[in-house]
A and B are shown apart, each in its own frame.
Chain A
Amino acid sequence: MSSVSATIQDVFNEPGCAKNAGKSEKEKKKGCTKQLQPGGAAGGCAFDGAKIALQPITDVAHLVHGPIACEGNSWDNRGAFSSGSSLYRTGFTTDINETDVVFGGEKRLYKSIKEIIEKYNPPSVFVYQTCVPAMIGDDIDAVCKAASKKFGKPIVPVNSPGFVGPKNLGNKLAGEALLAHVIGTVEPEYTTPYDVNIIGEYNLAGEMWQVEPLLKEIGFRIISCISGDAKYNEVAQAHRAKATMMVCSKAMINITRKLEDRYGIPYFEGSFYGIGDMSDSIRQLAQLVIDQGAPPEFMDRAEAVIAREEKKAWEAMAAYTPRLKGKKVLLITGGVKSWSVVAALQEVGLEIVGTSVKKSTKEDKERIKELMGEDAHAFDDMSPREMYNMLKDARADIMLSGGRSQFIALKASMPWLDINQERHHAYAGYEGMVALVKEIDKALYNPIWEQVRRAAPWQNPAETWQAKAEAEAAREAAELAADPAKAEAKRRSKKICKCKSVDLGTIEDAIRTGSLKTVADVTAATNAGGGCTGCCGTIEDIIADVLQPAEAVVLDPVQAEEKRRAKKVCNCKEVTVGAIEDAIRAKGLSTVAEVTAETEAGSGCGSCGETVEEILGEVLASVPRIAAE
Chain B
Amino acid sequence: MTEQLVVHGLEWTEKLHFVYPNEFIYWSIQIVMYPYMTGLVAGAFVLSSLYHVFGQKDLKDIAKFSLVFSLALLPVAMMPLQFHLQQPIRGIHVMMTPHFTSAIAAFGIVFSTYAIIVLTEIWFVYRQYFVEQTLALKGVKGAGFRRLIYNILTLGAYDLSEEAIAADKKGVKIFAAIGIPVACFLHGYAGFIFGSVKANALWMSPLMPVIFIMSAVVSGIALCMLTYIIIMEGKKLAASLKKGKSDESVKVIAGVEMDVIKKTSRYLIGFLIAAITLELLDMIFRGYTQMKSWDILREVMWEEDFTKIFIMQYGLGNLLPFLLLMIGKPGIKRTGIALALILFGVFMMRWNVVIGGQAFSLSFHGFMHYHMPIIPHNLETYKEGLFGALTVGATPFILFYIINKFVPSLKTSN
Q: Do A and B bind each other?
A: no
